[in-house]
A and B are shown apart, each in its own frame.
Chain A
C-alpha cells in the first residue's frame, strides 16, 4: 500500500477475491444452476413428468381451491407454462402459518406432492441464504461475499491495465500466463453480467443489507409500506358478505391477452373469492418484459374491467428492472442459455483466480524452498470447493433417483447427501497428492454427471423428446446438458492428468515444448514483447 494506487488495488483484488472466493464460487455455481431451477425441479419430480401445461382446466383448479382454502381472503395462482406444467397456488392464512400453498395438477386440480424433494429450489435457496444456518445469517454471509465480489471486480478493472488491448488475448499452454489470460477473458467478456449480478444481488436483499434509509423515512411501524409503494398493487376491498359465484375465468384471460396485444397470461389473483365484491387480477407472463413487474388488469365480479394497475415510478422501475435482470425469468431458451454461459464464465473467473493464486504462490515458495501452510490450505480448499461442489451437486441428483422410495424424510436426505459428499470432497485433498486429488474429483464429477442419462435409463425414466416444443425437451435436454457438463469435467480431468509442469525454466530461454506438434503453429506465433520464460512459472 506504500507502492502506489495500482499496486494497492492489485493487493486488494487478490485478497478480497481469495478470502471468500470458495463461497463465491459456490454462490455463482448454484446461482447459475438456478436459471434452470424449473427444469431441475421437473426432472427431480417424476410424478409430474406426464403432466401437460396445455391441459389447463381453470374450473377444476378453482373448485379445488374452494375445497382447500374456502375462507382465504385471496388466492394467487401461477399458471402452468412450457417450463413447468403445474399450477402453483398460495393464499394468506392456512393452518398455523402465514401462507398456505399447494401445487395442483392443471387438468384435474388435484393437489400434487410438494415434499417429495427440494428439487431446484435447494440450489436456488442455497445461492442466496445458504443452508443449515438461519436465513438471515446466511443472507448476511452471502452479502459479505457479494461485497467482496464487487470489490474484486472493480479493483480487477483498475488493476488490469490493458483491458481493451488484451480483449481477445488467450495464449494457451503458457502456464501462469494462460491462467491470467483465461481469468481476464472470462471476466472482461461477461463483465456487464458480473457487475449486474453483483450489484443487483445487493439491491434485491436491501431490506437486510441496508434497511436504515427506509427505517429513517418510514419508521419501524410503517416500514412495509415502502414495498407496497415500490410495487403498486390492487387496493384491498372489504367483503360484502353476499355470496356470488366467480365469473368464468377463461374469457377474462382471453380479454387480458387481447388487451395486451397477445402477451400471454402468467397468473391471476382472485381477491375475495366467492363474494359479490370479488376482484380478479390478471397478471401478464414473465416473457417480453425485463422488469419484474408484469402488466396487470383487474376485473370485477361481473367480469368488467375495473382498472389497469399503474406501472411503478422511475427509480422503482430501475429497481424492478435490476431485479428482473438478475432473475432472468423473462429469458426464452436462447437467452437463458446465454445466462448460463455468462454464469459459467463467472464461475471460471472465480476458479481461475483461485488457481492463479496457487500457481503464483507455488512458484514463490519453490524459489524459497520451504513448506508453505497457506499454500497447502488454499490448494486443498481449491480442489474441495471447485471440483467438489459439482460432485456434490451431481450426488444430489443421483440421490434423488437412488434413495429408497419409502425412506423417511427422503427430501431431507437428498440434501444430506449433497452436504456429506461436499464435506468428503473437502477432506479428500488433504489425503492425496495435489494433482491426484484434482484428477480424482474432476473424474468423479464427470462420471456422475455424464452418467445421469444412464441412471435415467436404469430407472426407466429416460424420456426421449416427443416433439419440438420446449416442454418436450426438458427431460431429454436435462440429460443431454448433464452429459455435456460431464464431458467438460472429463476433459478438465484429462488435461490435469496430462499436465507436466514445464522443466524449470532458465531465465531468457524458451522451455521445452510439451504441447503436441499439431498445435505448434498457434504456439509458435510470436507473442508480444513478453519474455516467455519468465511468465511460465506454473
Chain B
C-alpha cells in the first residue's frame, strides 16, 4: 500500500473501513453500553457506569477490527451484526418485551 499510485478501489475500501470504524463502531459501543446498563445485576448507577466504561473499550476493539479484517465487507458485517443484535435486545428491553 506504499506504492506510488493507489487505486481508487483501494482508497474507497479504506474510506469505507474508516466509516465503519468511526460510525458503526460508535453504534456498536452504544448498543453494548445500553445493554450492560440495562441487564447488569447491579444498582443502576453502577450498571450505567460499567456500561459506559466497557463501551469505550468496545469502540476501541471495533476500530481495530475494522482495519484488521480481510475485506471492507467483513469490517461492516463484524461491527454491524453485533450492533444490530445488541441494539435489538436493548430495544426489546426498553419496550417491556424482555423482563
Give residues in A with beta carbon < 8 Å to B. Answer: 1-3, 5, 8-9, 11-12, 16, 147, 150-151, 154-155, 199, 202-203, 206, 209-210, 212-214, 216-218, 226, 229-230, 313-316, 318-319, 364, 368
Chain A residues whose CB sits within 8 angstroms of the CB of B1 once the complex forms: 1, 3, 11
Contact status A1-B33, CB under 8 Å: no
11 contacts between A and B (CB under 8 A): A1-B67, A1-B68, A151-B60, A154-B64, A203-B53, A209-B56, A210-B52, A213-B51, A217-B47, A226-B48, A230-B49
Contact status A212-B34, CB under 8 Å: yes
Given contacts A11-B67, A213-B37, A315-B53, 19 further A-B contacts (CB under 8 A): A3-B1, A12-B67, A147-B60, A147-B63, A151-B63, A155-B64, A203-B53, A210-B55, A212-B33, A217-B38, A217-B48, A226-B45, A229-B44, A230-B45, A313-B45, A314-B46, A315-B42, A316-B46, A319-B53
A85 → chain B, closest Cβ, in Å? Answer: 37
Chain A residues whose CB sits within 8 angstroms of the CB of B30 once the complex forms: 210, 212-213
Chain A residues whose CB sits within 8 angstroms of the CB of B34 once the complex forms: 212-213, 216
- With A11-B1, A226-B45 as known contacts, state yes or no: A214 contacts B52, CB within 8 Å: yes
CA distance A155 to B42 in the complex (A): 33
**Which residue of chain A lies nearest to B4 when distances are taken between CB atoms in the complex?**
A368
Q: Chain A's interface: helix, strand, loop or mixed, by majority?
A: helix
- With A213-B33, A216-B94 as known contacts, state yes or no: A206 contacts B52, CB within 8 Å: yes
**Which residue of chain A lies nearest to B42 when distances are taken between CB atoms in the complex?**
A315
Contact status A151-B64, CB under 8 Å: yes
Chain B residues whose CB sits within 8 angstroms of the CB of A230 once the complex forms: 45, 49
- A-B pairs with lowest CB-CB distance, top 10: A213-B37, A229-B45, A213-B51, A213-B33, A315-B46, A216-B34, A12-B67, A206-B52, A315-B49, A217-B37
CA distance A333 to B53 in the complex (A): 31
CA distance A112 to B74 in the complex (A): 61
- Report which of B2, B17, B37, B43 forms a contact with A214, defined as CB distance below 8 A: B37
Contact status A2-B38, CB under 8 Å: no
Contact status A218-B50, CB under 8 Å: no
Contact status B45-A8, CB under 8 Å: no
**Which residue of chain B lies nearest to A207 when distances are taken between CB atoms in the complex?**
B52
CA distance A219 to B73 in the complex (A): 35
A319 → chain B, closest Cβ, in Å? Answer: 6
CA distance A289 to B81 in the complex (A): 44
CA distance A247 to B48 in the complex (A): 41
CA distance A216 to B89 in the complex (A): 12
CA distance A319 to B64 in the complex (A): 25
CA distance A154 to B68 in the complex (A): 13
Contact status A319-B56, CB under 8 Å: no
**Which residue of chain A lies nearest to B57 when distances are taken between CB atoms in the complex?**
A199
Answer yes or no: B76 CB below 8 A from chain A CBs: no
Answer yes or no: B79 CB below 8 A from chain A CBs: no
Chain A residues whose CB sits within 8 angstroms of the CB of B70 once the complex forms: 1-2
Chain A residues whose CB sits within 8 angstroms of the CB of B90 once the complex forms: 216
Contact status A203-B56, CB under 8 Å: yes
Answer yes or no: B29 CB below 8 A from chain A CBs: yes
A126 → chain B, closest Cβ, in Å? Answer: 23
CA distance A29 to B24 in the complex (A): 31
